[in-house]
Amino acid sequence: MPASLRPGDWEVPLDEVIYFDNAATSWPKPPEVTEAMVRFLNEIGANPGRSGHRMAVEAGRVVYEAREAIAELFNAPDPLRVVFGSNATEALNLVLRGYLRPGDHVVTSSVEHNAVMRPLRALERQGVEITVVGCAPDGTLDPADVLAAIRSNTVLVVLNHASNVVGTILPVAEVAAQVRAQLIAPLPAPLLVVDAAQTAGAVPIDVQADGIDLLVFTGHKSLHGPTGTGGLVIGERVDLARLEPLKRGGTGSRSEHEEQPDFLPDKYESGTVNAVGLAGLTAGVRWVLKQGVEAIRAREEALTRRLIDGLRAIPGVTVYGTLDPARQTATVSFSIAGMEPSEVGLRLDEEFAIMCRVGLHCAPAAHRTIGTFPTGTVRFSLGAFNTAEEVDRALEAVERLAGDTRRRTHSARRMMHQAGYEQQGG
Amino acid sequence: MEEGYAVVLVYSTAHALKAEKALQRAGLSCKLIPVPRHISSDCGVCVRIHRADQEEVLEVLETVGVGIEGVHNI
Ligand SMILES: Cc1ncc(COP(=O)(O)O)c(C=O)c1O
């Protein structure tokens, strides 16, 4: 039976589906990812790090290889500095809730995801002070504004590497360099936390060269792993004694003690890790390394240019962001005049088999920044497997919808005009 | 030359795997085995090495930053 989608009563073969929702999660996955997961379940299976038999050691090796792959991709100083969890949200909660205390100050931006803003707002009620630095309406951030917001009690600067709404890339390395350059001893420079959910695997990241102290990633987007994988890379400037774990429990190490281990990665990895997921993640990251992040980026940049240029040429369509593919990821937000994003989304799905995400994208602050709150936008997010032909087909679809609304508005105006005319006449 | 094996206790399985990779790269043979019960009540694995290699092994592990909890002859 050929694979197909069956929404309602019609069927679309999967190879005719246009999947433009890669910022939510990437699809399809490289076949190696599925193969690695099947192999783990069928042939390795045991609990990594819990027992001493060879199947357990093999499972532990699978998890360790995931650490190595992540460390290689982001140039982490040591695979043991890679801590896994279920996703970026969990890693962000670990960092924010584990590091911040009442009286501490945090600087963040106005394009953050709720995975950052909600933990921060909850911490604010407990006495943590927050400064949200405004980004420009195209999503860009001026490092000088971050610098100006830093105070003597600032312990973290938390920045989205790229907005999941407009794709704009924030200058995290410049922020790191400027913050450290103006550091006045004996005050320690605040740590830089980067939410790379949207960029990991799609934009080059080097934690050491970029000055990133805590890099948060999710496995299921541009790293091409399965859902339920993610984590963080912990830099050497981070005081582990200060960073509390989110969870405590069994680690397979120091079992004779009832105290949580204080070393990496065990301190932050209680409970059996998602080994089957990490088997898939390793395959995804190895796939990325084989293509090369630069090559993936170049390809996505070209597709993004085609998409942005095509959308801007359609009357009634507004595109948000920098409009410059060199300064953003392959995520493009737009709206069609006179048509609600929800209606655009439904019609793209039902009439054209285009999968995209509409609305606020879990990032109300980002929509306020670009001026699209509370209506939201239509978001096309391309991935490593999309093609120019798909972009062209999607542009045709948007053109059709925009044409429909123009006709609709036009005839509505004519009706109103006639009604007004008759009223006057009567 | 000293005969027999020794085991190096490390913090956790992740550390044992890091140790194994580093030792293999250095051409030193080793095997990950369950921690012998008479040495520790821990439930994990440790690194079994040839006693004769001990000095070199410890040097390699220190260079790559694998913390050592103890070395025991078995
Ligand atoms: C910028 C950003 N941060 C965090 C997240 C949360 O990722 P996850 O749902 O994998 O925890 C996402 C994606 O949803 C995101 O786009």
Confidence of residue A1 (pLDDT cuts 50, 70, 90): very low
CB of A167 within 6 A of ligand 1: the answer is: no
pLDDT tens digit sequence for A64-79? 999 999 999 999 999 9
pLDDT greater than 70 at residue A374: yes
pLDDT tens digit sequence for B8-58? 999 999 999 999 999 999 999 999 998 888 887 666 899 999 999 999 999
pLDDT value for A5? 65
CB of A135 within 6 A of ligand 1: the answer is: no
pLDDT value for A426? 36
pLDDT tens digit sequence for A191-242? 999 999 999 999 999 999 999 999 999 999 999 999 999 999 999 999 999 9
Q: Which amino acid is at A355?
A: M
- Looking at the complex, does the CB of residue A176 fall below 8 Å from at least one CB of chain B? no
- What is the Cα–Cα distance from A413 to B7, expressed in whole angstroms? 85
Domain containing residue B54: CATH number: 3.30.70.260
Please give the residue that has the higher pLDDT: either A426 or A379: A379
- Catalytic residue, from A362, A393, A404, A406: name it: A362
Which residue among A67, A80, A255 places its CB closest to the CB of B41? A255
CB of A113 within 6 A of ligand 1: the answer is: yes
Pick the CATH number of A4-22+293-412 from 3.40.50.2020, 3.20.20.60, 3.90.1150.10, 3.30.565.10: 3.90.1150.10
Exposed/middle/buried for residue A28 (C-beta within 10 Å: 0-12, 13-18, 19+): middle
pLDDT tens digit sequence for A17-28? 999 999 999 999
Domain that holds residue B54: 5-73
pLDDT value for A52? 84
Q: Which amino acid is at B70?
A: G
pLDDT tens digit sequence for A378-400? 999 999 999 999 999 999 999 99
Domain covering A31-291 assigned CATH 1.10.1200.10 in the classification? no
Count of domains in chain B?
1
